[in-house]
Structure 1
Amino acid sequence: MQSRDKFFIGNEWVSPSSAQTFEVMNASTGELVATAPEGANADIDTAVSAARAAFEHGEWANSSPNDRAEIMERFLAALAKRGDELAQTVSIQNGMPIGLSTAFEAEYSAGLLQYYAEEAKNIETALDIRPSQMGKETQVKKVPFGVVAAIVPWNFPVTLAMSKIAPAMAAGCTLVIKPSPGTVLDSYILAEASLEAGVPAGVLNWVAADRDVGAYLVSHPGVDKVAFTGSSAAGRLIAETCGGLLRPVTLELGGKSAAIVLEDADIDTFIEGVPMACLLNNGQTCFNGTRILAPKNQYQKISEAVADLASSMVIGDAMDPETQMGPMASKPHRERVEAYIVTGKTEAKLIAGGGRPKNTPQGWFVEPTVFTDVANDAVISREEIFGPVLSIIPYEGEDEAISLANDSEFGLGGSVWSADSEHALKVANQVNCGTVGVNGYVPSIGAPFGGVKGSGIGRELGPEAVDNYQSLKSTYIMS
């Protein structure tokens, strides 16, 4: 893969302010594949200045919603041409199976740009005129916040970047995007696509950096809005900073979602859905239903079926189309997941996995792991492991299932499984989370996505996401 030595700022390839670099590793082999520059505070200053100039004085500042939509459509065309390259780059960096990276990082991310290009066309340019109780009338309009700091994690780096970029562009904002150091190479492909598409200078700027420099970006005086996806711990620190600055922030954070298998559920249907709803992206997905709630009268049958599935999954190189379970994204992350497995062995019964697969001596692999006889207050039930580790928790009666599902500091996702979808929907409506699936789980581009409690503030996706990048301005006409 190609090493990089520049940042993309103001539509130019800009030399970094220091000689520090990130090493990009192949998650499936543990081998070094490329290097990329590590940003410092000075690089953030340059990027924010470029975004500020574009917002206040550049071509973008005077563009109409239809103008923005046209530019976004050109960006979409340039991005679509690079779909295979994006998917391959992501899979090498973080171990996402290539079939999944093609579907999500290439196709879903392009769908986001297409969706928000259409949303841009629908933005009302006419003023909302309202009666005034103290004067002639009031004009109300939505205006873009300005410069957005977009901080993107490593698990779905393209999709989660585009979930911020696309609605922010539709709203008329400009962005400074900080990708994760472990998945920095895909950001260069996005930058090349935006340059080819003629996105005006300063609208999109990329600087990869560590957490300290990311914190500098969050608190930068030239930033008007922060959009972050990542851990709940990091999100709380960002929320504290933004609260002190009275700066708008959207936080899409962690989860410990419950998959409630009702007594009338078809177990085969549930098992078919487990890879997507509970183990997606090698378990490295915030909405995964890693707590499986099973009725006591079918507990053994469901547990055995889940264990059989986990044991039969094809583990291998992320670039192999046959692979169902790739590696963890990094060596430190594998160690973190393995530490939770060690804890789980002291709290519950291990019935599948629990180690490193024997056929993958290189790379950062962990076997799909299943625990039974798990209490809902166990560490492996409470904390987000972010790996292929499932806890099967017994319940008796739907009231207890709902109570267990809601007994969590998180509230991002969940699923309910039943042969009667109306029955499942009634249960789903009682689960305290931002999103829930009935007999499956796949986020919809057209519907808001986000969590409650420790899972975040605000929503991405859907037309509501554009509102995250706009403020309301009222002009009082007195006479």
Structure 2
Amino acid sequence: MRGTEQLFIGNEWVAPSTTATIRVIAPHTEQPVARVPAPGAADVDRAVSAARAAFDTGPWPRLDPAERVAIVRRLAELYAARVDEIADVISTEMGAPLTFSRSAHARLPGAMIRAFADIAEEYPWTESRPGFLGSNVLVCKRPVGVVGAIIPWNMPMFLTVAKLIPALLAGCTVVLKPSPETPLDANLMAELIEQLELPPGVVSVLPGDRAVGRYLVSHPGIDKVSFTGSTAAGRQVAEACGAALRKVGLELGGKSAAVVLDDADPADFASGMRVAGLMNSGQACVAQTRILLPRSRYREYVDALVSMVEKLSVGDPFDPATQVGPMVSQHQQERVRGYIEQGQREGAKLLVGGTELPDGLRRGWYVRPTLFVDVDNAMRIAQEEIFGPVLSVVPYDDEDHAVKLADATEYGLSGSVWTPDLDRGLAVARRIRTGTLGINQPYSMDPFAPFGGVKNSGIGREFGREGLDGFLDTTSISIRPVRRGTDRAGS
């Protein structure tokens, strides 16, 4: 894989401006697996300058949208040829179980590339409307400009595709900043983009730390920032963009609730929660880590959850049997363990898990899958995003109480309702204030459907037509036909 000594700036591999590097550590072994260049401010300047020139004077934003669609479809073909390699790289750099990497981290982004191309192919780039005041109105969609896209480590290729591909289809130029924990898959994407032979300057990839991200967000050459990360960091991004009157899209944190109605099957619900609550080893913003159970059948559902959590296989991400891998870093491991200790101090009952390493593991940044019950919804473990394999069970009295508890959080990203009665489930789902919901499943992250949150979970939407809208400006042109007389100078 290229890029271990160079940065991808303006569609080409170039020498970095500094000698600083990022050391990539495998979470399972705690051993270094690669080094990549760490960009400096001069590299950001160079990338933004290249993107600015490509947008202001280059051909990319001026191509017919069908030409950009064709190029993106070619990228999908190139991606498909390396999908297994992408899965291996992501499991190595961030510790996701290989079975999950192959599906969600690798194959799903490839399908998303094709889906976004389908959306752009059918998108109404120009629309004619009859104006109220008598003129015809032409509504035109135009690329917003230079995009600074910042992604976290937990779903690196998925989020790269979610931002990069719609922006390119819109005609934007992009400076992508992946997390320093997961730079290797980003460099793989850069290699694929290099093969497209795009016009100079269209794409740059700068894996970097928060200082690089802050500099990119504040750079005067950026027209829009698309950010995925924590709510605390999102507030800082929003403040910087607000001061510059710069467009911004934010996909932030969550503390989503799984509302289990009293007619749900305990075994089916518990099996579903293995994915809904613990996908990606619990490192997912949409994870349903608050489980709301009816008091009338509380013990049945708790017993089913205990059985599910106790049976989870934890260990080497490359073992096909592994269901829960390590945390991405030692810092994240310590953070999650701190929340487990906090839950015990708050008085929640710990039924499964804890702070010790899982059985049979002497190294690696692992956290045992943990289940708390009898949790008060006001406790920190029920209110704050832990980002690890920790589930909190909160009892409720009736449906009104369940909806109230589901909404009693600063977040509003996702959620789910579990019941065999779909009409009943939909009625409850419609009452919960959140951006996405699943019924008898976690939200499916369909590329044709808009994804995003309300409250402190974000601003704007990704995926679907709405995701493409986020990288476009709207221009309205009012047209009054000129009536030509038979004799302009005469009577």
TM-score scaled by structure 1? 0.97
Aligned to 2:349: 349
- Cα displacement (A) at 1:287: 0.6
Structure 1 residues 151-200: Cα deviation after superposition (integer angstroms, max 9, x where no partner): 01000000001000111111111100000000001111101111123333
- Give the direction of change, closer, same or farther, for the CA distance of 1:420–1:129 in structure 2 (3 Å limit): closer
Structure 1 residues 136-163: Cα deviation after superposition (integer angstroms, max 9, x where no partner): 4433211110110000100000000100
For residue 60 of structure 1, what is the amino acid of its counterpart? Answer: W
Aligned to 1:39: 39
- Cα displacement (A) at 1:267: 1.0
- Cα displacement (A) at 1:128: 2.4
Give distance in 1, aligned partners of 2:262 and 2:289.
Answer: 19
Structure 1 residues 205-233: Cα deviation after superposition (integer angstroms, max 9, x where no partner): 10111111201101111111110100000
> 8 Å contact 1:3–1:35 — kept in the other structure?
no
Aligned to 2:488: none
Aligned to 1:120: 120
> 8 Å contact 2:126–2:139 — kept in the other structure?
no
For residue 261 of structure 2, what is the amino acid of its counterpart? Answer: L
Instruction: Tell me the C-alpha RMSD between the 2 structures.
Output: 1.4
Give distance in 1, aligned partners of 2:2 and 2:141.
Answer: 42
- Cα displacement (A) at 1:34: 0.6
1:65-464 → structure 2 map (5 Å cutoff): 65-131=65-131, 133=133, 136-347=135-346, 348-355=348-355, 356-441=357-442, 442-464=444-466
Unaligned regions of 5+ residues in structure 1, if any? none
For residue 93 of structure 1, what is the amino acid of its counterpart? Answer: E
- Cα displacement (A) at 1:245: 1.2
> 8 Å contact 1:75–1:199 — kept in the other structure?
no
- Give the direction of change, closer, same or farther, for the CA distance of 1:431–1:26 in structure 2 (3 Å limit): same
For residue 142 of structure 1, what is the amino acid of its counterpart? Answer: K
- Give the direction of change, closer, same or farther, for the CA distance of 1:325–1:125 in structure 2 (3 Å limit): closer
For residue 359 of structure 1, what is the amino acid of its counterpart? Answer: G
Q: Which structure 1 residue ranges, 4+ long, deviate > 4 Å from structure 2?
A: none
SS at match of 2:377: coil
Give distance in 2, aligned partners of 1:71 and 1:268.
Answer: 46
Give distance in 1, aligned partners of 2:32 and 2:247.
Answer: 38
Structure 1 residues 327-379: Cα deviation after superposition (integer angstroms, max 9, x where no partner): 00000010000000000111211000012213121110000000011100001
For residue 232 of structure 1, what is the amino acid of its counterpart? Answer: T
> 8 Å contact 1:128–1:139 — kept in the other structure?
yes
Comparing 64-73 with 113-122, which one deviates more in the overlay?
113-122
Structure 1 residues 290-336: Cα deviation after superposition (integer angstroms, max 9, x where no partner): 00000112112211221221111000111111110000000001000
- Give the direction of change, closer, same or farther, for the CA distance of 1:2–1:362 in structure 2 (3 Å limit): farther
SS at match of 1:281: helix
Comparing 4-13 with 65-74, which one deviates more in the overlay?
4-13
For residue 143 of structure 1, what is the amino acid of its counterpart? Answer: R
1:475 correspondence with 2:477 = yes
> 8 Å contact 2:272–2:441 — kept in the other structure?
yes
> 8 Å contact 1:147–1:223 — kept in the other structure?
yes
> 8 Å contact 2:2–2:191 — kept in the other structure?
no
Give distance in 2, aligned partners of 1:276 and 1:63.
Answer: 42
- Give the direction of change, closer, same or farther, for the CA distance of 1:376–1:126 in structure 2 (3 Å limit): closer
- Cα displacement (A) at 1:464: 1.0
Give distance in 1, aligned partners of 2:273 and 2:136.
Answer: 56
Unaligned regions of 5+ residues in structure 2, if any? 483-491
For residue 10 of structure 2, what is the amino acid of its counterpart? Answer: G
For residue 303 of structure 2, what is the amino acid of its counterpart? Answer: E
- Cα displacement (A) at 1:384: 0.4
Give distance in 1, aligned partners of 2:79 and 2:56.
Answer: 27
For residue 214 of structure 1, what is the amino acid of its counterpart? Answer: G
Give distance in 2, aligned partners of 1:127 and 1:303.
Answer: 54
For the pair shown, which has the larger CA radius of gyration, 1 or 2?
Answer: 2
Structure 1 residues 395-428: Cα deviation after superposition (integer angstroms, max 9, x where no partner): 1111101100000000000000012111111101
- Cα displacement (A) at 1:2: 7.4
SS at match of 2:282: coil
Give distance in 2, aligned partners of 1:125 and 1:425.
Answer: 34
Give distance in 2, aligned partners of 1:140 and 1:395.
Answer: 50
Give distance in 2, aligned partners of 1:376 and 1:62.
Answer: 52
1:49 correspondence with 2:49 = yes
Structure 1 residues 56-109: Cα deviation after superposition (integer angstroms, max 9, x where no partner): 222313211110011001111111111011111111111111111111121111
SS at match of 1:183: coil
- Cα displacement (A) at 1:385: 0.3
Give distance in 1, aligned partners of 2:172 and 2:148.
Answer: 10
> 8 Å contact 2:314–2:325 — kept in the other structure?
yes
For residue 460 of structure 2, what is the amino acid of its counterpart? Answer: G
- Cα displacement (A) at 1:476: 3.4
- Give the direction of change, closer, same or farther, for the CA distance of 1:3–1:34 in structure 2 (3 Å limit): farther
> 8 Å contact 1:411–1:434 — kept in the other structure?
yes
- Cα displacement (A) at 1:131: 2.4
For residue 204 of structure 1, what is the amino acid of its counterpart? Answer: V
For residue 473 of structure 2, what is the amino acid of its counterpart? Answer: S
- Give the direction of change, closer, same or farther, for the CA distance of 1:219–1:300 in structure 2 (3 Å limit): same
For residue 76 of structure 2, what is the amino acid of its counterpart? Answer: L
> 8 Å contact 2:123–2:465 — kept in the other structure?
no
Comparing 469-478 with 288-297, which one deviates more in the overlay?
469-478
Q: How many residues align?
A: 478
Structure 1 residues 247-267: Cα deviation after superposition (integer angstroms, max 9, x where no partner): 111100000000011000111
% identity of equivalent residues: 46
SS at match of 2:464: coil
